[in-house]
């Protein structure tokens, strides 16, 4: 094992993909990362506090744990000197549950559910319940205040859904919910009907109406918006520039699968906010005559915040392939939410 300094922290220096193609898990004293669609890629470990990483002996053996602590103790990261630990190696079997847990968090944030692409949505309550169960089973790897160790926080938003799942009749789901029942109180919660399907928002193609100057489409980078809000396909943003009574406007439509209200949108430098149905209208600071004379093909539409540099169409296509393969399998490390999605008529 070789340790190097990156951004002021000691790390194993293994190459890992950028978001959205990386699965990350925060454990006590370190952050673990894997390229999500490469099962053979080694783990990348960044130490935030090697003294707090009491779990290292489980993945490196006692001698390996001692070697790392001795190598880094009293050696500030700003010295930027590499450390070679020739006989220290990660135990793949010890890391496998953590990689699966990191994958579960990736599924929560990045799963590319899409009506257009035929990629089924994962049941959020089922997924979070299994992540909670896996987290509890790996409690020795977590400190009390790590971001990914909050079992109750995972379950609390799904109390009504979990109660309904118990009554759905699937013994696999009932067993899963029962396994996490000690962390969430499901008593006296009425079972609610659950929405398993979703439809496209009001973004369907329409005939061009009078006053239309130009129209076009665009895509939403996954890292720019919250999860489970928009259909994850490409070209789900449509826009049309219109003019009426001397006022030039851009009408933007997206294809949400959840409430989109409050998400910022920008068209050609003009700012707006989406409503719940994923629509926005922004006034443009251009005269009607200038709007008719302009070539709008270079107009830029953005939805949400800044996107990660690694969030490209090519990477998203790769991750869609990964998701389809997991549904077609299912994979050996599949989550119950994936199995249920694969079984459903979509």
Please give the pLDDT value at position 127. 97
Please give the pLDDT value at position 165. 87
Give, for all 346 residues of the chain, the pLDDT tens digit: 889 888 889 999 889 999 999 999 999 999 999 999 998 889 999 999 999 999 999 999 999 999 999 888 777 666 667 888 878 899 999 999 999 999 999 999 999 999 999 999 999 999 999 999 999 999 999 987 778 889 999 999 998 899 888 888 899 999 999 999 999 887 755 555 444 444 333 344 444 556 899 999 999 999 999 999 999 999 999 999 999 999 999 999 999 999 999 999 999 999 999 999 999 999 999 999 999 999 999 999 999 999 999 999 999 999 999 999 999 988 889 999 999 999 985 5
What phi and psi values does residue 345 have, to the nearest 5 degrees?
A: -85, 110
Please give the pLDDT value at position 17. 96
Q: Where are the domains of the chain?
A: 2-110, 124-195, 212-303
User: How many residues in total does the chain contain?
Assistant: 346
Answer yes or no: are the C-beta atoms of 212 and 288 closer than 8 Å: no
Answer yes or no: are the C-beta atoms of 77 and 11 closer than 8 Å: no
Please give the pLDDT value at position 13. 86
Please give the pLDDT value at position 269. 94
Please give the pLDDT value at position 71. 87
* Run of H or E including 217: strand 212-218
Cβ neighbours of residue 225 under 8 Å, at least 6 residues apart? 263, 303, 304, 305
Helix axes 171-179, 124-137, angle to 10 degrees: 50
């Amino acid at each position: 094992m070789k340790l190097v300094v990156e951004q002021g922290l000691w790390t194993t220096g293994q190459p890992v993909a950028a978001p959205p193609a990386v699965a990350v898990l925060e454990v006590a004293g370190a952050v673990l990362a894997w390229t999500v669609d490469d099962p053979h890629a080694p783990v990348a470990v960044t130490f935030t506090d090697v003294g707090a990483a009491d779990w290292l002996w489980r993945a490196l053996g006692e001698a390996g744990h001692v070697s790392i602590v001795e190598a880094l103790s009293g050696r500030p990261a700003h010295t930027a000197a590499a450390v070679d630990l020739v006989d220290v190696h990660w135990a793949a079997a010890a890391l496998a549950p953590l990689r699966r847990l990191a994958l579960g968090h990736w599924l929560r944030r990045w799963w590319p559910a899409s009506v257009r692409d035929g990629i089924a949505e994962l049941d959020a309550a089922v997924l979070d319940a299994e992540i909670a169960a896996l987290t509890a089973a790996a409690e020795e790897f977590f400190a009390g205040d790590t971001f990914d160790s909050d079992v109750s926080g995972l379950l609390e938003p799904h109390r009504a859904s979990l109660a309904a799942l118990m009554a759905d009749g699937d013994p696999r789901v009932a067993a899963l919910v029962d396994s996490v029942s000690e962390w969430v109180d499901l008593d006296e919660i009425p079972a609610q009907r659950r929405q398993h399907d979703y439809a496209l928002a009001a973004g369907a193609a329409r005939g061009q109406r009078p006053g239309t100057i130009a129209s076009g489409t665009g895509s939403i980078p996954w890292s720019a918006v919250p999860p489970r809000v928009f259909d994850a396909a490409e070209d789900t943003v449509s826009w049309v520039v219109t003019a009426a009574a001397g006022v030039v406007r851009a009408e933007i439509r997206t294809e949400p699968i959840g409430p989109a209200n409050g998400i910022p949108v920008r068209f050609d430098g003009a700012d707006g906010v989406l409503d719940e149905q994923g629509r926005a209208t922004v006034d443009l600071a251009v005269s009607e005559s200038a709007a008719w004379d302009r070539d709008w093909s270079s107009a830029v539409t953005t939805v949400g915040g800044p996107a990660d540099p690694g969030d490209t169409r090519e990477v998203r296509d790769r991750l869609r392939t990964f998701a389809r393969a997991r549904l077609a399998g299912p994979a050996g490390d599949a989550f119950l939410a994936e199995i249920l999605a694969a079984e459903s008529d979509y």
